[in-house]
């Protein structure tokens, strides 16, 4: 992997503190196009469109090529360079990096990439990368080339195809004395009577250069033997693209919707919490007369309990596969394991929300052609959530069928309309949906039952308790392999089930 550093103008938009995973979004030039730098005696530059923008999206945003601080969410190839949009995550390092960007202390973006194709002029000290695979983008405060926006380039392992452009001017070497001697000899032989012998077709040419010139001038039409790829398999290796497709990691939108996972602590497997399940209207009453007995009540604090469950998977990977695979099998293996952990735990949390919740609101989706009935159902559920937890609802989880209906309502407008001006917003390009101020998230695990339309709740009513996930590995030397596993402990804690409102078919 190589790195290139750009002194870029970064635009950062920070979000108000809401306890979410993302604290800010940014935009800037990651790689300039057509700008040469000199490294170790070689002039290097990138051709326009050298990076595949689809492959750039989803790559990590890091700090100094070390710890991750976010993810790239968009990429465009402009005439002057590759521009990226990115999210900054709500971690200690992410908050520090956002402060550095916002204050202008760090303006540079350093890109880690693998050269794939390039063009180089033979005998000249210039190379142009025409295709490269982006590995990651890092924030740095010391761009090496501030005027051009390009930093130092360092070598690492990797292969690329190089197209060498050769100078085509022919080199003509003339030996005048030799040619004169050959002409004299021919005239002497021609004057001697002899029996003619068969003459080779190429004998008319005095040199290979003369023959080549005749071919270029169209005077020699001798048929040449065809050379095709099928006859030369030894010089045509297969081409393998380096990006492993099909690893879909959408995160955990349902768990994140109520504030993300809550710590399970460091010891024990049983999670306990106290809660009050009585009626506030049955406690205090008016005193009938002076000196009369006041209302005597029993107030009980109940105990809720949930037991952590282990979620895990593992593989025994041979050294041959670990050491000889390209692209890296280990990298793809661990990404798939992490994506599976996210998917399974988010599905479990969604199922628990529906099964543990006790609040219910009826909704006739087929009869709602404008979205008005759904907005009414959302308001009703939010008030029920407030009665149960003390605060209104903060999130709406919708089935795929309901999200499809929302997309067709004419009363919902795409962004940038604000929800203060319209009933709601719905944008297909980002699947960002907002109904009367409440964010709507697609919960596809509700799709198993047509009567399950939505769940409306908040983080006071329910949370996902978790310790993990972690990666574990151990060498299996006897079989030349390595055991690698992902594991974590998690459970749904329904603190106040009445604050989990299920929206069901009327």
DSSP, residue by residue, 468-494: EEEEEEEEEGGGTEEEEEEEEEEEEEE
- Count CA atoms within 13 Å of residue 354 on its CB side: 22
> Does the pLDDT of residue 164 top 50, yes or no?
no
Query: Could you tell me which residue, 194 or 245, shows the higher pLDDT?
Result: 245
**Confidence grade of residue 170 (pLDDT, cut at 50, 70, 90):** very low
Specify the pLDDT at position 469.
95
- Count CA atoms within 13 Å of residue 450 on its CB side: 3
Q: What is the pLDDT of residues 44-69, one digit of tens each?
A: 889 999 999 999 999 999 987 778 99
Nearest-angstrom CA–CA distance, 435 and 370: 13
Q: What is the pLDDT of residues 103-127, one digit of tens each?
A: 877 777 888 888 898 887 655 678 8
Nearest-angstrom CA–CA distance, 394 and 416: 21
Give the 3-state secondary structure of 163-200: EEECCCCCCCCCCHHHHHHHHHHHHHHHCCCCCCCCCC
Nearest-angstrom CA–CA distance, 8 and 190: 79
Percentage with pLDDT > 70 across the chain: 78
Bridge pairing between strands 395-398 and 438-442: parallel
pLDDT average, residue stretch 436-452: 91
Give bridge partners of residue 86 from the DSSP assignment.
26, 72
Contacts of 288 (CB under 8 A, 6+ apart): none
Give the 3-state secondary structure of 338-388: HHHHHHHHHHHHHHHHHHHCCEEEEECCCCCCCCHHHHHHHHHHHHHHHHH
Could you tell me the strand order of the sheet in which 452-457 lies? Answer: 359-363, 501-505, 452-457, 395-398, 438-442, 432-435, 424-427, 412-413
> Does the pLDDT of residue 289 top 90, yes or no?
yes
> In this structure, what DSSP letter does residue 314 have?
E
> Does the pLDDT of residue 193 top 50, yes or no?
no
Query: 32 with 149: CB under 8 angstroms?
Result: yes
- Based on its alpha-carbon atoms, the radius of gyration of the chain, rounded to whole angstroms, reads 35
Specify the pLDDT at position 171.
33
Phi-psi region of 199 (alpha: psi -120 to 50; beta: other; left: phi over 0): beta
> Does the pLDDT of residue 13 top 80, yes or no?
no
> Does the pLDDT of residue 172 top 50, yes or no?
no
> Does the pLDDT of residue 421 top 80, yes or no?
no
């Amino acid at each position: 992997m190589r790195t290139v550093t750009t002194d870029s103008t970064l635009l950062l938009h920070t979000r108000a503190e809401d306890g979410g995973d993302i604290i800010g979004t940014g935009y800037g030039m990651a790689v300039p196009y057509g700008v040469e730098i000199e490294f170790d005696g070689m002039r290097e530059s990138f051709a326009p469109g050298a990076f595949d923008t689809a492959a750039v999206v989803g790559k990590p945003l890091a700090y100094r090529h070390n710890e991750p601080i976010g993810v790239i969410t968009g990429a465009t190839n402009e005439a002057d360079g590759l521009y990226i949009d990115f999210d900054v995550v709500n971690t200690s390092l992410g908050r520090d990096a956002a402060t550095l960007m916002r204050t202008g202390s760090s303006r540079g973006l350093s890109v880690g990439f693998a050269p794939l194709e390039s063009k180089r002029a033979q005998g000249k000290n210039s190379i142009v990368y025409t295709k490269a695979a982006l590995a990651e983008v890092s924030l740095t405060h010391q761009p090496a080339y501030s005027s051009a926006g390009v930093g130092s380039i360092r070598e690492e392992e990797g292969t690329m195809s190089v197209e060498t452009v050769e100078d085509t001017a022919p080199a003509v070497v003339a030996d005048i004395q030799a040619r004169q001697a050959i002409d004299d000899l021919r005239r002497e032989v021609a004057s001697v009577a002899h029996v003619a012998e068969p003459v080779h077709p190429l004998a008319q040419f005095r040199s290979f250069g003369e023959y080549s010139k005749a071919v270029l001038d169209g005077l020699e039409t001798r048929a040449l033997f065809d050379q095709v790829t099928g006859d030369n398999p030894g010089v045509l290796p297969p081409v393998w693209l380096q990006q492993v497709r099909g690893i879909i990691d959408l995160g955990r939108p349902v768990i994140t919707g109520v504030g993300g996972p809550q710590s399970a602590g460091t010891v024990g497997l049983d999670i306990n919490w106290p809660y009050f399940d009585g009626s506030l209207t049955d406690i205090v009453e008016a005193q009938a007369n002076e000196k009369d007995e006041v209302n005597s009540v029993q107030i009980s604090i109940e105990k809720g309990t949930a037991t952590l469950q282990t979620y895990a998977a593992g593989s025994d990977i041979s050294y041959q596969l670990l050491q000889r695979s390209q692209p890296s099998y280990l990298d793809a293996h661990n990404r798939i394991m992490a994506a599976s952990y996210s998917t399974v735990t988010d599905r479990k949390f969604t199922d628990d929300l529906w099964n543990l919740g006790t609040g219910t609101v009826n909704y006739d989706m087929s009869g709602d052609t404008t979205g008005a009935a759904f907005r009414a159902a959302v308001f009703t559920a939010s008030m029920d959530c407030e009665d149960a937890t003390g605060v209104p609802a903060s999130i709406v989880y919708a089935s795929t069928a309901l999200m499809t209906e929302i997309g067709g309502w004419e009363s919902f407008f795409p962004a940038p309309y604000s929800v203060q001006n319209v009933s709601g917003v719905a944008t297909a390009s980002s699947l960002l949906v907002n109904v009367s101020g409440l964010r709507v998230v697609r919960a596809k695990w509700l799709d198993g039952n047509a009567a399950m339309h939505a769940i409306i709740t908040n983080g006071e009513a329910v949370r996902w308790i978790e310790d993990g996930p972690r990666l574990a590995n151990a060498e299996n030397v006897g079989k030349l392999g390595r055991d690698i596993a992902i594991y974590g402990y998690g459970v749904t804690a329904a603190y106040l089930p009445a604050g989990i409102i299920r929206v069901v078919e009327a």
